[in-house]
Amino acid sequence: MDTRDELVSAALRHFADRGFYGASIAGIAEDLGVTKQALLHHFGTKEKLYGAVLQRIAAGLDATLRQAMSGGGAPARKLEALLLALLADTGGDEGRLLMRELLDNRQRAERADRWYLRAFLEALTAALREVPGWQGATDGEAFAALYQLLGAVTYYAVSGPTPSRILGKRGFAEVRAAFPARLSALVRLTLQSPPR
């Protein structure tokens, strides 16, 4: 791993734990044993470092999407496979940061000049429009359905600590075992319920 990758990985952990405004360049640098100046040398600003983190997440999401959609089969099955792949891929820090980016960035969203997840969301919308009945969906209708499904994936991916404490290890293991089937059922129901 090169220095830039190490810096992005450390920043990912900090942003996932504390959000954009709670994370600090000083804290990230301290974790890595480098100076703030060394960190800023690579990225210039905290915003650019955050952008590099989001770019890494977006690249991973795009790769998952391309792999799931490249195989044969019905568009609905491909989309279901994609969401199940996202479920497997979005645990840990990336899932937590993705959840924060979707829910916890009101101030940053007002000033953002680049949206790293846009290409992924546009490709996901295009994939939904390949499903019979969804071809004529408006952007709003398509995004609402996808946002619900992505919400289920990301919420599950980041919420493990609380239900595992409430339900205990055995109970949460049952949740983990059952969740992919429940997600598949939700995807199928959504895809079978196109607008209008």
Instruction: Kindly list the domain boundaries of the chain, sorted by start residue.
Output: 3-191
The C-alpha atoms of residue 106 and residue 111 are separated, in whole angstroms, by 9
Fold annotation for 3-191: Tetracycline Repressor; domain 2 (1.10.357)
Query: What value does the mean pLDDT take over residues 108-136?
Result: 86
Instruction: Check pLDDT > 90 for residue 106.
Output: no
Q: Per-residue pLDDT tens for 140-167?
A: 999 999 989 988 988 887 777 888 899 9
Local confidence band at 126 (pLDDT 50, 70, 90 cut-offs): very high
Q: Is the full-model pTM beyond 0.85?
A: no
The C-alpha atoms of residue 140 and residue 69 are separated, in whole angstroms, by 22
Percent of the chain residues topping a pLDDT of 90 = 42
Q: Given this model, what pLDDT does residue 87 score?
A: 86
Q: Are 57 and 99 in contact, with CB atoms under 8 Å apart?
A: no
